[in-house]
Structure 1
């Protein structure tokens, strides 16, 4: 089967199928779409992951587990070591959105980029930059793996590419409770989260999709009796006004820093000159904030513009190879 842009757009449409998706589900509750991504089945497996992680990132490579609730981390230099850690109950993540814009990114990421771009256009209002808008991971997980109960700060559409994974998800997002817990003095991001309301259990089969909103508490485990699984989490970062202002400051710093001369600085012992210098600094900061205030309107009101790398698959592009087809002999042997 040829994986063209129409098929990818169809995957997105099925993941957002309910007519009231944005009124009832978006940012509020999980949504399970069985078979929504059946077009992606067979395109990627654990051996592909092992080859691509070696190409995309230098080692050592991270494996995460939560055998006793809190997360534990190990690092591995070889594909054989990584595979063994996964088979022993770990999960190996690969943040592909950190590398897929690069010209030497693995070829197998091309359809994943196009799928994410289509999804982003279907659900998002503005695009800030890769670091502030994209959070896309591949996960290679063993049958006995457990990531612990947690939540993410991205709206994540997970597609099961191979194997099976069991999810337990909160039926609704309890945002006020979650943010209040983050503000507590003893908060630790590595500590297990807590389900404080009804939950739902879902077993993802190959081709299934699951939307989990940002800040929705969930836990993911392997399914005994099945080999390791591979899934992709298409994460769209939740953002607030601080993210927008920070992005605007990044743009100013990267493009116009030389237009702002250094401020005059005078020590307190110079009396009036010291006070005048501080007053001048306050005026300059306020002037910059007024510039940012005008820029906010521009960035929000402008149309949605994504990097070219997230554009549709070009007509006549090469058909994606089946899982494992691009593998080098030395990687397969490891």
Structure 2
């Protein structure tokens, strides 16, 4: 992608300019980000997805004024009879990870690849009846809110007080203070940085596509990486036992010996001795498919043909590795260049495939048979 070329998607800003001015800094309302936008999925399609066991869906219902339960929340799957009538106001159906389920929605998400793939999360599609919404709240990640059908009124504010209403099934702000208000029509889009408070209310029946970006916390990232490091610790540090042949008799048995502390410190240092260990486990973590993702494990072409990554496949690279769906491979030279091209473009032409080394072509064939990539015949 040419990051210096102005995009209608970003209101005439080049990706480079958008990232400098707005990304993680301030909101942007973009009128007709996608002119004449026709949503890939209509209401019926979304309801069909919400009825499937393997699809993550949620239902939010706002009670009429004075109701004992102002908000009700439920996880799917939802058969049609489990949903309120369309004439009932104030309810919202949310379906997560739609880009993994529909090639057209995946193509829509790919328009946002001026942000690193390591940050792209998924596309959530919401359907709401008149007055529907999920209450004033904030997200801990960046999001583009693309209006797909009907109208939605947004109120947003750079809120300092992020306290939540107690006893609610949803994370609803206790003291929402909007600063701006506007209505989005089909094709309009709103970008919001993390922790920017917002409240979207459907004006009539509406659908919104939310393109979200993952933002792991320090604790989440540290815990995940340490767990993966621990799994590899046996190979890195060996199975040598602590030995203390010079340990003297002690009068204070409760004190931990300094030699044992030093032994533990050395074990941790050895676990991190490989200079590539951190990069490797980070790349594996960032490309790990979500737990509910399944691939069709069957060959769909030959390695001699051009290649296309499956829409569910996560692929990335660093200076030394290529990562795909939680696995890592050391790569250098021409193979590394071609694998990086596949990760960047998500396709690799037949001519380029033929330039891969024999071991790399064998690896590609394994990925074909696993359903991670497909032949582009």
TM-score bracket, shorter-length normalisation: 0.5 to 0.7
1:118 aligns with 2:130: no
Contact 1:12/1:118 (<8 A) preserved: no
Task: Name the structure, 1 or 2, with higher relative contact order (CA <8 Å, separation 6+).
Answer: 1
Alignment of 1:1-334 (within 5 A): 13-15=8-10, 17-18=12-13, 20-38=17-35, 40-55=37-52, 57=54, 62-67=58-63, 71-74=71-74, 77-84=78-85, 87-96=88-97, 100=100, 105=101, 109-119=102-112, 121-124=113-116, 127=118, 133-170=120-157, 173=158, 177=160, 190-196=171-177, 199-223=179-203, 226=204, 228-249=205-226, 251-252=228-229, 256=232, 258-259=234-235, 271=253, 275=257, 276-288=259-271, 295-296=278-279, 302=318
Structure with higher Rg: it is 2
> Matches of 1:15 and 1:134 in 2, distance apart?
19
- CA spacing shift, 1:187–1:148, aligned 2, 3 Å: closer
- CA spacing shift, 1:189–1:64, aligned 2, 3 Å: closer
- How many residues were matched structurally? 280
- CA spacing shift, 1:293–1:235, aligned 2, 3 Å: same
**Residues 102-154 of structure 1 deviation map (CA, whole Å, 9 limit, x = unaligned):** xxx3xxx21222332331x3123x617xxxx5143111111121311100112
- CA spacing shift, 1:314–1:83, aligned 2, 3 Å: farther
TM-score by length of 1: 0.65
> Matches of 2:207 and 2:81 in 1, distance apart?
17
Provide the secondary structure at the position in 1 that maps to 2:271.
Answer: helix
- CA spacing shift, 1:278–1:78, aligned 2, 3 Å: same
Aligned-residue RMSD, C-alpha: 4.7
Structure having the higher helix fraction is: 1
Structure 2 match to 1:323: none
- CA spacing shift, 1:253–1:141, aligned 2, 3 Å: farther
Provide the secondary structure at the position in 2 that maps to 1:160.
Answer: strand
Contact 1:114/1:311 (<8 A) preserved: no
Contact 1:148/1:220 (<8 A) preserved: yes
- CA spacing shift, 1:253–1:159, aligned 2, 3 Å: farther
Please list every run of 5 or more consecutive structure 1 residues that lacks an aligned counterpart in the other structure: 316-334
Contact 2:90/2:128 (<8 A) preserved: yes
